[in-house]
Amino acid sequence: MSESYIQQLFAERIGGVNYGKSTAIYKFEKIKRAKAAAKKAKPEVALIDLGVGEPDEMAFPQVVKALQNEAAKPENRGYADNGGPDFRHSAARYMKNLFNVTVDAETEVL
């Protein structure tokens, strides 16, 4: 049976003509299954779910307070994708150790 016209139009970045046909388990389903297995294996241990999705309960007041405190700190105001100082300095050391190249962690590592 030939593919439908619409099926042939899906972009390659999302699977092209095979879009929607995979039987692979997607990451969110894997996470859901792993969470269920962990709860079953150790029901006495409280599981802190940091997964994606909408929270269904209020956060504990101490968690909200900790988030407020951390959000108020100037050092937590940069873009995460720029890398923090520890990462930038580690990257500069890595470049020096592996390639013997000196890189300025503050101006050349993003």
- pLDDT, tens digit (0-9, with 9 covering 90-100), for 27-86: 888 888 999 999 999 999 998 887 777 667 788 999 999 999 999 999 888 777 767 888
Residues 66 and 96 reside in one and the same domain:
yes
Residues 41 and 68 reside in one and the same domain:
no
Boundaries of domain holding 81: 58-110
CA distance 3 to 8: 7
Residues 40 and 68 reside in one and the same domain:
no
Residues 33 and 74 reside in one and the same domain:
no
On whether the pTM is more than 0.75, the answer is no
CB 46 within 8 A of CB 60: no
CB 51 within 8 A of CB 31: yes
DSSP 43: T
Residues 6 and 46 reside in one and the same domain:
yes
Residues 47 and 62 reside in one and the same domain:
no
Residues 5 and 46 reside in one and the same domain:
yes
Query: How many domains, in total, are found in the chain?
Result: 2
- Indicate whether 1 pLDDT > 60: no
